[in-house]
């Protein structure tokens, strides 16, 4: 099994709007692609110099082909929606991991 992790740092001014968007729109759209089997949101408690609040949004998938399909068919439009809505008040970086145990 694999994990696609998106770490997102938010300015405090957009926190509540972002959380509402994630829980009520974005997660449903990502899961609706059929590329992932589960997801979760975790709040990062380690202090980061960027200020604001940081979350780890994790998406689980079974085969690398699912991830590749997501990246090719869905990711560009879904990312653009977040950028358009929150602009520079949100910074994200992505990590791909393999679950070994």
Q: Is the whole-model pTM more than 0.85? A: yes
Q: Give residue 85's pLDDT.
A: 94
Question: Which is nearest to 57 in space by CA: 80, 88, 82?
Answer: 82
Number of domains in the chain: 1
Q: What are phi and psi of 55, to 5 degrees?
A: -125, 150
Model pLDDT for residues 35-86, shown as the tens digit of each residue? 999 999 999 998 767 689 999 999 999 999 999 999 999 999 999 999 999 9
Q: Could you tell me the CATH number of the domain that includes residue 20?
A: 3.30.70.100
The pLDDT of residue 49 is 72
Strand order across the beta sheet in which 53-61 lies = 38-43, 53-61, 2-10, 90-98
For the segment 42-55, what is each residue's pLDDT rounded down to a tens digit?
Answer: 999 987 676 899 99
Sorted by sequence, the CB contacts under 8 Å of residue 37 that are 6+ apart come out as 60, 61, 62
Domain span including residue 40: 2-98
């Amino acid at each position: 099994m694999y994990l696609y992790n998106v770490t997102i740092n938010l300015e405090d001014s957009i926190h509540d709007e972002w959380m509402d968007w994630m829980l009520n729109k974005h997660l449903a759209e990502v899961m609706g692609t059929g590329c992932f089997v589960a997801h979760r949101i975790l709040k990062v408690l380690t202090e980061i110099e960027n200020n604001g609040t940081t979350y780890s949004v994790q998406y689980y998938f079974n085969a690398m082909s699912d991830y590749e399909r997501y990246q090719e068919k869905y990711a560009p439009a879904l990312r653009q929606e977040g950028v358009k809505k929150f602009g520079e008040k949100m910074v994200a970086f992505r990590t791909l991991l393999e679950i070994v145990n």
